[in-house]
Chains A and B, each alone.
Chain A
Amino acid sequence: MKVTRKEVERIAALGRLELSEEQKREMEAHLSGMTEHFKMLDAVDTSSVPPTAHILDKVNVLRPDKAEPSFERDALLANAPERDGECYIVPRAVE
């Protein structure tokens, strides 16, 4: 299936990626090639097959509700691109 330029732009925006013109061209070809390959799936009859999201059949694994020490604030903030004392700095999100 041919993936169009418009779709490439839509998908890139969903992933918060900016693509150059050349990258968009490359991505059109790449996604078209991938979807072509994915046609292999159509050849498999799955009419009575349930999907598998996970190979384990576990559900709701719980652990004891016990308080444990958390991370040191400073250790976490050490990786912050921008910080102010005890907080991360981000641009204003609500006008």
Chain B
Amino acid sequence: MNNLLQMPLTEAVKAVKSKKVSAVELTRASLGRIAECKELNNFITVCAESALAAAAEADKKIALGGDPGPLAGVPVAVKDNISTKGIRTTCASKFLQNYVPPFDASVVTALRNAGASIVGKTNMDEFAMGSGSENSYFGAVKNFRERSRVAGGSSGGSANAVAACEVFAALGSDTGGSIRQPAAYCGVAGLKPTYSLVSRYGLIAFASSLDQIGPLGRTVRDCALMLDVLAFADPRDSTSVPRPQKTYSDFVPRVKGKRIGIAKEFFPDTLNADVRKRLNAAVAALEGAGAVVKETSIKSFNAALATYYVLSSAEAASNLARFDGIKYGYSDRSGDGLTDIYFKSRTGGFGDEVKRRIMTGNYVLSSGYYDAYYLKASKVRTLIKREYEDALRDCDALICPTAPSSAFKAGKKTSDHTQVYLEDVYTVPVNIAGLPALSVPCGTDGGGMPIGMQLIGKAFDEKNLFELAGAFEEITGGNADV
């Protein structure tokens, strides 16, 4: 591997701006690394030509003394459920395998305006439904550190590409943990921003009240720099709001006096021993550096997973109703009439997990069950939101594991697909409450696989999370065991 690729994003940008290296050189190195790592299956589409053109454009601006933008031609990747004009966007689904969006998602426009070189579209679970990036029409993603293990999901390709130094940062999307859990499994940092901080225009919808786009990077500051580019009020997404911070990437690592909340529900007796050990050590390290640790409680924690699977499946079933085989995507016209096109296209175009979610969603929304499931879950949602907000009133951040274990063995959980849902236990409540959360590496387990620590903050308090996680990174030196 070209050593240049191991720089953090922030350093790469500086190196390009100071002409120590050209953006074209970095992009070529990135494309070379992607070819070298083909076996990991991180990318569904590689766009060498347009990436090199964007890099050359940045280099040209620098040569003329102009501003190449905050990302200065540095190569990044985009999850394949985020629309890219002229570059196919598949959602890792047979249904969209040939779909080429006629427009860019707003975050992609922002990346392009920031001068980024988008080298490719990353592999994922089909329609972002999964926790292992195994439910892909294009084959499973293999964990860079141990190929027999999954990379997490659904943004597995993005997290793994960042971990393998194929790119300097990547975009993921997070509906119930799909940025944070793969970040934890691959040993990188990943942020799910506060709901509405980042525009969802052009993100192919899974569950609209929970979905959020966010960055993955090898350092906390890399994620902050990406958020500088990604957070803005977008007239095309009526839920998006102006950001409360001018800049995120100028945060100062700080831990002294910060109050950390630990809910007793986060550490049940059944928790994996390695995860417990690493989290305890991480909290002790933060306490040693001056943080104040408080015990707190989230009583509804155990009901969050059920709440999530009712709400997200209901929203998914509704959102995916648009895939009908008429205007774009997979279309099976072998039957007789319009209804046959719907049935045959959806039956042939969607994978098994997507069908399970559609079935679950339509079940909980169907006549006779709405009150018992959807309405009930919407009420429990209120409680979960209140309890997280209450706990955060006395704390600057809540800390818990990102996932209950390290990366699981490939194929292990595909036979029992509900088992895989348990992976989301720590991440889903954050989406339900709309809060920001950051996963950072906090050491490895006995087998050398990374373990993630999740820091959950108040709404729009991303900068505070960066300060705390940045300080933790300084204490541990990034990936090092504490």
State A80–B331 Cα separation when bound (angstroms): 9
Assess the A17–B326 pair: CB atoms within 8 A.
no
Q: Which residues of A contact B238 (CB under 8 A)?
A: 58, 61, 63
Does B383 have its Cβ within 8 Å of any Cβ on chain A?
Answer: yes
Q: Which residues of B contact A11 (CB under 8 A)?
A: 359, 362-363, 366
Name the residue of chain A whose CB is nearest to the CB of B194. A55
Does B358 have its Cβ within 8 Å of any Cβ on chain A?
Answer: yes
Assess the A53–B378 pair: CB atoms within 8 A.
yes
What's the nearest-Cβ distance from chain A to residue B417, in Å?
Answer: 8
State A38–B380 Cα separation when bound (angstroms): 12
State A75–B356 Cα separation when bound (angstroms): 33
What's the nearest-Cβ distance from chain B to residue A52, in Å?
Answer: 4
Assess the A90–B338 pair: CB atoms within 8 A.
yes
Assess the A30–B378 pair: CB atoms within 8 A.
no
State A58–B307 Cα separation when bound (angstroms): 23
Instruction: Bits for A71-95, please: 1 = Cβ < 8 Å to B, else 0.
Output: 1100110111110000010111100
Assess the B100–A41 pair: CB atoms within 8 A.
no
Assess the A79–B99 pair: CB atoms within 8 A.
yes
Q: Which residues of A contact B82 (CB under 8 A)?
A: none
Does B19 have its Cβ within 8 Å of any Cβ on chain A?
Answer: no
A contact residues, total (Cβ < 8 Å)? 53
Q: Which residues of A contact B103 (CB under 8 A)?
A: 71
Name the residue of chain A whose CB is nearest to the CB of B313. A34
Does B91 have its Cβ within 8 Å of any Cβ on chain A?
Answer: no
Instruction: Bits for A37-74, please: 1 = Cβ < 8 Å to B, else 0.
Output: 11111111010011111111010010100000001100
Q: CB < 8 Å: which of A15, A55, A63, A81 contacts B235?
A: A63
Assess the A53–B209 pair: CB atoms within 8 A.
yes
Q: CB < 8 Å: which of A30, A41, A88 contacts B310?
A: A41
What's the nearest-Cβ distance from chain A to residue B329, in Å?
Answer: 7
Assess the B329–A15 pair: CB atoms within 8 A.
no
Assess the A8–B359 pair: CB atoms within 8 A.
yes
What's the nearest-Cβ distance from chain B to residue A64, in Å?
Answer: 9
Q: Which residues of B contact A21 (CB under 8 A)?
A: none
Known: A41-B376, A53-B378. A90 touches B326 (CB 8 A): yes
Q: Interface of chain B, helix or strand or loop or mixed?
A: helix
Instruction: Bits for A1-40, please: 1 = Cβ < 8 Å to B, else 0.
Output: 0010001101110111111000100010011011101111
State A40–B302 Cα separation when bound (angstroms): 8
Assess the A37–B195 pair: CB atoms within 8 A.
no
Q: Which residues of A contact B379 (CB under 8 A)?
A: 46, 49-52
Does B447 have its Cβ within 8 Å of any Cβ on chain A?
Answer: no
State A15–B350 Cα separation when bound (angstroms): 12
State A51–B352 Cα separation when bound (angstroms): 31
Q: Which residues of A contact B352 (CB under 8 A)?
A: 23
State A34–B24 Cα separation when bound (angstroms): 50
Assess the A50–B326 pair: CB atoms within 8 A.
no
Q: Which residues of A contact B376 (CB under 8 A)?
A: 41-42, 46
Assess the B344–A15 pair: CB atoms within 8 A.
no
Q: Which residues of A contact B418 (CB under 8 A)?
A: 30, 33-34, 37
Known: A38-B306, A41-B306, A55-B195. A15 touches B382 (CB 8 A): no
Known: A34-B309, A38-B306. A78 touches B100 (CB 8 A): yes
Q: Which residues of A contact B417 (CB under 8 A)?
A: 30
Name the residue of chain A whose CB is nearest to the CB of B235. A63
State A44–B235 Cα separation when bound (angstroms): 38
Q: Which residues of A contact B309 (CB under 8 A)?
A: 34, 37-38
Name the residue of chain A whose CB is nearest to the CB of B363. A11
Max chain A C-beta neighbours (<10 A), residue from B373, B378, B434: B378
Q: Which residues of B contact A92 (CB under 8 A)?
A: 337
Does B347 have its Cβ within 8 Å of any Cβ on chain A?
Answer: yes
Q: Which residues of B contact A14 (CB under 8 A)?
A: 362, 366
State A50–B358 Cα separation when bound (angstroms): 26
Q: Which residues of B contact A93 (CB under 8 A)?
A: 338
State A53–B305 Cα separation when bound (angstroms): 17
Does B479 have its Cβ within 8 Å of any Cβ on chain A?
Answer: no
Q: Which residues of A contact B195 (CB under 8 A)?
A: 55-56
What's the nearest-Cβ distance from chain A to residue B348, in Å?
Answer: 9
Q: CB < 8 Å: which of A3, A37, A72 contacts B305?
A: A37
Known: A50-B382, A71-B103, A79-B100. A17 touches B358 (CB 8 A): yes
Known: A3-B363, A27-B359, A91-B338. A41 touches B303 (CB 8 A): yes
Q: CB < 8 Å: which of A31, A63, A71, A79 contacts B328?
A: A79
Known: A17-B346, A51-B381, A72-B102. A44 touches B358 (CB 8 A): no
State A27–B381 Cα separation when bound (angstroms): 26
5 contacts between A and B (CB under 8 A): A27-B355, A41-B307, A42-B376, A46-B380, A63-B238
Not counting A17-B350, A41-B306, a sample of 5 additional A-B residue pairs whose C-beta atoms are within 8 angstroms of each other reads: A27-B359, A41-B377, A75-B102, A91-B337, A93-B338
* Those 6 A-B pairs whose CB atoms lie nearest each other, nearest first: A55-B434, A81-B331, A51-B378, A79-B328, A46-B379, A61-B238
